[in-house]
DNA sequence: GAGATAAGTCATCGACCGATGACTTGGCTT
DNA sequence: AAGCCAAGTCATCGGTCGATGACTTATCTC
């Protein structure tokens, strides 16, 4: 009996406010990332979770708030790779481009979020995430240069552009390229931009 | 009297099918570029021109057709710079980033078009324009390298990323940077990527 | 088991969307 | 000036959206 109770408590457990809220946020993240702010409807999100749309407004007040909370809690999937800074460009490239973001419709959430950049507040949100997150982590690489921040942004622009050409535009060479194909160019550009040697990311064993 | 007639004939010229059609297409280009396919409404476009929305459907049949015709006629503003290939990266950067695209809401049409990349046919259109237009012009620079096409796309990705970080994300350093600030980095990256010297774009006299 | 409280639903509103068809108005020919 | 035809408008439909408030139902306590 306790087994069944536990099961129901962890799996189904209907009418659990916090659990429902969490599921709504998770589905909202996916929907917003995949379809953009306008493209994702509150009814869609609610339907994914299996509740009525009115409940969403009951919990979050407005679609805008739902978006804000969903994106605020999305720092988890955007976790930055750790390790020595020299290896960071390669790891970021791998994460941005080659990681399997299947649950985000095949795109890195950041690229997907750009679809919503038409709205002013989302632009701010995206910018903050880009600057504080990715660029902040890269800035150490540019240390010692006169315009370190600019160089960092330029390198970030490159990574972002690669991701966009691959997933949003579908350019032929980049689409079929693997990490091994990009590695030497990554090293060359990073070195040229930062004025310090940046090793090419290892064609890691996990990549078949 | 003839003066007034001429004025009306050239300026106002009410009830001129072709003129109205052309104005609708022009406004549609701007709206679609600025707000994306979903964000731009037929009523908006019609209102810009000063006609009823029903007229748009009368002329173009559907919003989708309006979009197709508007974008088909937009090859004109995407004219490529001419001159020796070595100067092309700089010119492209200037056009992509610093040209005044005021009529396209301050963004290069290409970047703006990415907003609509959620729609499949739009994606194809953007890819074709990118590949045949911009990347095709740049490919000559990569000649002599083993993977010339990939290098070209990588450089295109960089230019595109710069444009996006500037206008769509609003990253601080890139936003306030001028062409002169970017020129040396452009030269460094292009040289590293193409393996041949690429001169920095001249901080031209017209830029005050 | 009765009742209270919170989780979740239903019905509905007003606004806007794309789209259609009947209507009006302006310009040209005769 | 009469009258036709095309350019442009108006009224409206069906649908979806965000949002609200009244309602139902499950769960917990006593």
Q: What is the 3-state secondary structure (H, E, C) of chain A?
A: CHHHHHHHHHHHCCCCHHHHHHHHHHHHHHHHHHHHHHHCCHHHHHHHHCCCHHHHHHHHCCHHHHHHHHHHHHHCCCCCCCCCHHHHHHHHHHHHHHCCCHHHCCCCHHHHHHHHCCCHHHHHHHHHHHHHHHHHHHHHHHCCCCCHHHHHHHHHHHHHHHHHHHHHHCCHHHHHCCHHHHHHHHHHHHHHHHCCCCCCCCCCCCCC
Q: Report pLDDT digits (tens) over B56-76.
A: 999 999 999 999 898 877 654
Rounded CA separation B76/B99 (Å): 15
Q: What is the share, in percent, of chain B residues with pLDDT greater than 90? A: 37
Say if A98 is an interface residue toward chain B (CB within 8 Å).
Answer: no
**A117: its two tokens:** 């950049």
Which nucleotides in chain C have some atom under 7 angstroms from a protein Cβ? 6-11, 16-22, 26-27
pLDDT at site B10: 42
The whole-number Å distance from B164's CA to D16's C1' is 32
- pLDDT value at B19 more than 90: yes
Q: Report pLDDT digits (tens) over B72-102.
A: 776 544 566 777 877 888 888 888 777 777 7
Which nucleotides in chain D have some atom under 7 angstroms from a protein Cβ? 6-11, 16-22, 26-27
Q: How many CB atoms lie within 10 A of CB B168?
A: 21
Interface test with A, best of B153, B167, B175 (most A CBs within 10 A): B153
Q: Are A153 and A138 in contact (CB under 8 A)?
A: no
Residue B107 belongs to what H/E stretch? Answer: none
- Chain A residues within an 8 Å CB radius of B127: 169-171
Band (B45; pLDDT cuts 50, 70, 90) = very high
Judge whether residue A20 contacts strand C, using its CB and a 7 Å cut-off. yes
- Chain B residues within an 8 Å CB radius of A112: none
- pLDDT value at B107 more than 80: no
Give the residue with greater pLDDT, B159 vs B33: B159
pLDDT at site A2: 42
State how far the alpha carbon of A172 is from the alpha carbons of A78, A88, A110, B71, in Å: 27, 26, 22, 22
Q: Report pLDDT digits (tens) over A82-136.
A: 778 778 888 888 887 777 777 677 777 777 777 777 677 677 777 887 888 888 8
Query: Left, alpha or beta for A195 (phi > 0: left; psi -120 to 50: alpha)?
Result: left
State how far the alpha carbon of A197 is from the alpha carbons of A151, B47, B77, B187, in Å: 15, 56, 40, 18
Judge whether residue B17 contacts strand C, using its CB and a 7 Å cut-off. no
Judge whether residue B51 contacts strand D, using its CB and a 7 Å cut-off. yes
pLDDT at site A190: 92
Burial code (b: 16+ CB inside 10 Å, e: under 16) for A65-96 equals ebbebbbeebeeeeeeeeeebebbbbbbbbbb
**Residues of chain B numbered 139-198 and touching chain A (CB < 8 Å):** 147, 149-154, 156-162, 164-165, 168-174, 177, 181-182, 185, 188-189, 191-193
Contact between B158 and A161 using a beta-carbon 8 Å cutoff:
yes
Name the average pLDDT for chain B: 81
Residues of chain A with pLDDT under 70: 1-13, 74-79, 103, 118, 121, 202-208
């Amino acid at each position: 009996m306790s087994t069944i109770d536990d099961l129901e408590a962890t799996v189904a457990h209907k009418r659990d406010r916090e659990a429902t809220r969490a599921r709504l946020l998770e589905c909202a993240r996916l929907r917003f990332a995949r379809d953009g702010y306008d493209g994702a409807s509150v009814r869609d999100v609610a339907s994914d979770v299996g509740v009525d749309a009115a409940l969403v407004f009951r919990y979050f007040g407005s679609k805008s708030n739902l978006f804000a909370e969903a994106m605020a809690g999305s720092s988890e999937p955007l976790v930055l790779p750790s390790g020595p800074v020299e290896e960071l460009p390669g790891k970021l490239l791998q994460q941005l481009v080659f990681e399997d973001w299947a649950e985000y419709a095949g795109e890195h959430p950041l690229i997907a979020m750009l679809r919503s950049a038409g709205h002013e507040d989302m632009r701010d949100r995206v910018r903050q995430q880009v600057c504080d997150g990715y660029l902040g982590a890269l800035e150490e690489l540019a240390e010692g240069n006169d315009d370190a921040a600019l160089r960092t942004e330029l390198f970030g622009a490159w990574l972002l552009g690669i991701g966009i050409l691959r997933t949003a535009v579908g350019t032929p060479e980049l689409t079929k390229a693997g990490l091994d194909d990009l590695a030497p160019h990554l090293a060359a550009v990073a070195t040229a931009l930062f004025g310090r040697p940046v090793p090419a990311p290892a064609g890691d064993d996990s990549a078949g």
